């Protein structure tokens, strides 16, 4: 038998198989294989990327030279460009605008031989600091309404031929639909209850414990009740906050530890699976960004980890529904 479960944050339905046993060997995906040809993201190859827009560097080291722990550069083949006007216009019934925004690469480590989960917590903390710095900077550009931070690990998660540990950042002139839907649901909930939906669900999950994967003083990692993907994870700050960029140094330390912890568990359990990681942040406070006066109370930023070990079919594309063969309670137990 199966269950149909509704995701409380997005309204999305998922068919979850009711099974108590899962063999990680049931899932087939391409093993991660590190490319060993020339890599523009390695230390000493800095001249092969566009000039850096941010870096955490050893005192005395020079921009675009060696001596960094994290480095952010514009994508040399960007999907959106920072130059030019938005040029919003219509073509009969259709709406379009120029591809204005930013597309940046966050190089997570100067070393070619480590993936994100193999880094030390201190190094992961530097990656988090880089995201904070870039989001704060991009917020000044009034054309930008949202910054989407994400990571593609492994070919089946969209990483193609790049095997150096990187994340990406896309600054957008519109708020993504996925986020807008979450904002609207969170607003309705707060309007009814005078409480944050995420805080409430987190409290229930911490009490029940059966979908809890990891926890420290500032963060919790859950297998969400209506997980779309097997071994999906949701990381939430325990203290209510709508904006990721307001994260404190103490929280950065705690987040880097729990993130390393759950990514290691995922890699140990499944054997270096492909996955996507994304930040679900509130939009910038612009009149039409999906921002409203209650957004600070309504929304609670979070991270999503989506292992890509099953194939999406016409069913998912046609419906926005998902089918998940692994109940999150079983995933939590495995991890």
Binding residues among 186-205 for its own copies as defined by CB under 8 A: 197, 200-201, 204
How many C-alpha atoms does 305 have within 13 Å on its Cβ side?
27
Q: Whose Cβ is closer to its own copies: residue 247's or residue 303's?
A: 303
243 binds its own copies (CB under 8 A): no
Is residue 268 involved in binding its own copies (CB under 8 A)? no
CA nearest 171: which of 92, 91, 81, 231?
81
Cβ of residue 169: shortest distance to its own copies, in angstroms?
A: 10
| 32 makes contact with its own copies (CB under 8 A) | no
Residue 252 beta carbon to its own copies: minimum distance, rounded to whole angstroms: 21
Q: Give CA–CA dist 327/2, Å, rounded.
A: 10
Rounded to whole angstroms, how far apart are CA atoms 250 and 217?
10
**Closer to its own copies by Cβ: residue 155 or 298:** 155
Query: Nearer to its own copies by C-beta: 4 or 136?
Result: 4
**What is the number of residues in the chain?**
335
Which of residues 133, 157, 265, 269 is near its own copies by CB under 8 A?
A: 157
Whether 103 contacts 77, CB under 8 Å: no
Segment interacting with its own copies, rule: CB under 8 A, options 8-16, 46-54, 235-243, 244-252: 8-16
Binding its own copies (rule: CB under 8 A), the pick from 15, 39, 42, 184 is 15
Q: Is 23 in the site for its own copies (CB under 8 A)?
A: no
Rg of the chain in Å (alpha carbons): 20
Q: How far is the CB of 208 from its own copies (least distance, A)?
A: 8
Among 105, 128, 170, 331, binds its own copies (CB under 8 A): 170
225 contributes a contact to its own copies by CB under 8 A: yes
Alpha-carbon gap, residue 291 to 186, rounded angstroms: 12
152: contact with its own copies by CB under 8 A: yes
Parallel, antiparallel, or unpaired: how do β-strands 13-17 and 322-324 relate?
parallel
Q: How far apart are CA 271 and CA 274, in angstroms?
A: 9
Using an 8 Å Cβ cutoff, are 307 and 273 in contact?
yes
**Rounded-to-integer distance, Cα 105 and Cα 304, Å:** 19
**Binding residues with its own copies: total (CB under 8 A):** 70
Among 85, 91, 194, 249, binds its own copies (CB under 8 A): 91
208 belongs to the binding site for its own copies (CB under 8 A): yes
Q: Does 74 bind its own copies (CB under 8 A)?
A: no
Distance of alpha carbon 311 from alpha carbon 236, whole angstroms? 27
Buried b (16+ CB within 10 A) or exposed e, 70-100: bbbbbbeebebebeeeeeeeeeeeeeeeeeb
Catalog residues that contact its own copies under the rule CB under 8 A. 1-6, 8, 11-13, 15, 17-18, 79-81, 91-99, 148, 150-152, 155-160, 168, 170, 172-174, 176-179, 181, 197, 200-201, 204, 208, 225-226, 276-280, 304, 306, 311-315, 317-321, 323
């Amino acid at each position: 038998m199966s269950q149909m479960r509704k995701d409380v944050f997005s309204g999305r339905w998922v068919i979850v198989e009711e099974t108590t046993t899962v063999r990680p060997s049931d899932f087939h995906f391409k093993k991660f294989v590190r490319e060993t040809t020339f890599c523009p993201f390695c230390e000493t190859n800095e001249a092969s990327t566009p000039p850096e827009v941010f870096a955490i560097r050893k005192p005395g080291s020079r921009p675009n030279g060696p001596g960094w722990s994290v480095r952010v550069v514009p994508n040399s083949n960007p999907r959106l460009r920072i130059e030019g006007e938005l040029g919003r216009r219509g073509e009969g019934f259709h709406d379009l605008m120029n591809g204005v925004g930013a597309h940046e690469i966050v190089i997570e480590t100067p070393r070619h031989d480590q993936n994100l989960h193999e880094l030390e917590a201190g190094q992961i903390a530097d990656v988090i600091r880089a995201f904070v710095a870039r989001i704060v900077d991009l917020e000044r550009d009034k054309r930008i309404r949202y910054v989407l931070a994400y990571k593609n690990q492994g070919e089946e998660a969209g990483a193609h031929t790049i095997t150096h540990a990187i994340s990406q950042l896309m600054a957008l002139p519109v708020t993504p639909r996925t986020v807008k839907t979450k904002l609207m649901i969170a607003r309705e909930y707060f309007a009814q209850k005078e409480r944050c939906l995420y805080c409430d669900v987190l409290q229930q999950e911490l009490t029940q414990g059966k979908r809890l994967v990891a926890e420290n003083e500032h963060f919790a990692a859950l297998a969400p009740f209506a997980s779309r993907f097997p071994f999906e994870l949701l990381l939430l700050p325990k203290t209510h906050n709508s904006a990721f960029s307001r994260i404190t140094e103490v929280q950065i330390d705690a987040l880097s530890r729990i993130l390393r912890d759950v990514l290691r568990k995922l890699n140990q359990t499944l054997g270096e699976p492909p996955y996507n990681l994304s930040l679900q942040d509130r939009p910038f406070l612009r009149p039409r960004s999906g921002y409203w006066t209650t957004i600070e109370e309504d929304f609670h930023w979070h991270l999503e980890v989506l292992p890509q070990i099953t194939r999406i079919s016409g069913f998912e594309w046609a419906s926005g529904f998902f089918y998940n063969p692994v109940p999150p309670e079983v995933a939590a137990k495995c991890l």
